[in-house]
Structure 1
Amino acid sequence: MTSTTSPTQSTLFARLKHAAAEDWQAYTHHSFVEQMRQGTLPEAAFRQYLVQDYLFLIQFARAYALAAYKSRTLADITAAQDGLAAIVGETELHVRLCARWGLSREDLNAADEHQATVAYTRYVLDAGLSGDLLDLHVALSPCVVGYAEIGARLAPAVEDNPDHPYAEWISEYAGEEYQQSARAAIEHMDALAERTFAESRFGELTRHFAASTRLEAAFWQMGLDAAGNPQTFP
């Protein structure tokens, strides 16, 4: 499957991705992702990741609520509303998958946040609180667009193997609905940049983008590290 999220080099996202190319490669081709593609990722690693990603999404929903608050136009508020709705909907995937292990929504809500979850989500929230709407969306974009890129790249593994153990997760992020959300995020970030971007800001925005990208990689690593430590699960 070919990704439909690939931006042209004229987009701000493309420039940021190019500037943080090594970090982006380490995130999108992390061992966690490659093992998922191959179907060899330990179930314990995926389970740990899913529980923490559910908690992660709750904080990202707060980030989109913050985006609505910091918006000055109805179009920006609507974009934040759409992002918030998509994040809330995404939690249902985690609830469905975790139910296979007998974990309820209540179990997920009661789980403690891992330090990798806290570090990433609070960084994004702080970027939004201390900066403007563009700062916030730049910090959000490695997650939103990165998952679409990963899903599209892993999709052939599912097409070749209908019994792939991670087919539902991969199909969710390779699907057209999520791909469209990623395209919309790129377009909205460009619309913001047309109003508020100056070249002098590019270095600061790159630091936000690169930091979020590295925190994404650390989130994958958290799953791998916990694979042999089942007492970390709720």
Structure 2
Amino acid sequence: MAAEQGSGLIGRLIGAGEREWTAYTDHAFVRGMADGTLPQAAFRHYLVQDYLFLIHFARAYALAVYKGQSLADMRAAHAGLKAILDVEMDLHVGLCEGWGLSPEELERAPESKATMAYTRYVLETGLRGDLLDLHVALAPCVIGYGEIARRVAALPGAMAESNPYRVWIGEYAGAAYQEVSAAARANIDQLAARSMTEARFPQLLTIFRQACRLEADFWEMGLTLAD
């Protein structure tokens, strides 16, 4: 699958990290959602871990508030934090309930190794780096889910009533999330215009590639039901 690059810094990172990006965005887990063949136990396991991931994702946006160099930076990060806590978490809980997973089960679930590795990497990257480092580490998730769902939704049968994963696909392919993804790209370009240098690009590419590898590991965790 050819990488969907687009423009700006993210487009450049996708082009330079195409192998890792493709391994993540065209993973067997994704293909299984697209054609409905993904084992439902794998999706349920993924849903539980994704709930736990979202908690740390919110913490990353809280860190972005602290890392902001202006009120505009802080307000943008706060808007992302509020969207996760007040909207996305509720949507995810609702999706989980549709798969027979109660809020209590989600709260009690232990984190898998893949969840711990990915979330701690993002937070550590943000702690030791600046706002651009943090958002590049978050980009494979924020932007990648939008790209994956948009592509998958266009495949024959992906949105058919018979596909149990059409709700997940539709949520991330929908206009609301596509706006979130586009805004993340624009925000990264604004940050890059302020602090990006050619000498810095290899460091950002390393962050991006590692985050893509950890995203692929997250799919693999779901597929194999790994602890």
TM range (shorter): over 0.9
Quick check: 1:61 aligned with 2:61?
Answer: no
Identity of aligned residues (%): 55
Would the alpha carbon gap of residues 33 and 159 (structure 1) be closer, same or farther in structure 2, given more than 3 Å must change?
closer
Partner of 2:162, secondary structure, is coil
Alignment of 1:62-77 (within 5 A): 62-77=59-74
Quick check: 1:23 aligned with 2:25?
Answer: no
Aligned equivalent of 2:143: 145
Q: 2: CA distance between counterparts of 1:128 and 1:71?
A: 11
What amino acid is aligned across from residue 183 of structure 1 in structure 2? Answer: A
Contact 2:122 2:138 in 1 (8 A): yes
Aligned equivalent of 2:36: 39
Contact 1:158 1:167 in 2 (8 A): no
Partner of 1:7, secondary structure, is coil
Partner of 2:89, secondary structure, is helix
Quick check: 1:192 aligned with 2:191?
Answer: yes
Aligned equivalent of 1:218: 217
Q: 2: CA distance between counterparts of 1:80 and 1:158?
A: 37
Alignment of 1:1-234 (within 5 A): 7-8=6-7, 11-88=8-85, 89-156=87-154, 157=156, 161-226=160-225
Partner of 1:194, secondary structure, is helix
What amino acid is aligned across from residue 123 of structure 1 in structure 2? Answer: Y
Unmatched runs of 5 consecutive residues or more in structure 1: none
**Which aligned segments of 4 or more residues in structure 1 are displaced greater than 3 angstroms?**
157-160
Q: 2: CA distance between counterparts of 1:78 and 1:158?
A: 40
- CA shift at 1:197, angstroms? 0.9
Contact 1:37 1:154 in 2 (8 A): yes
Q: 1: CA distance between counterparts of 2:190 and 2:146?
A: 20
Contact 1:51 1:94 in 2 (8 A): no
- CA shift at 1:100, angstroms? 3.0
Would the alpha carbon gap of residues 83 and 160 (structure 1) be closer, same or farther in structure 2, given more than 3 Å must change?
closer
Partner of 2:144, secondary structure, is helix
- 1:179-199 Cα distance to aligned partner (Å, 9 max, x none): 000110010011111111111
Q: TM-score, normalised by structure 2?
A: 0.93
What amino acid is aligned across from residue 220 of structure 1 in structure 2? Answer: W
Measured on the aligned residues, the alpha-carbon RMSD in Å equals 1.6
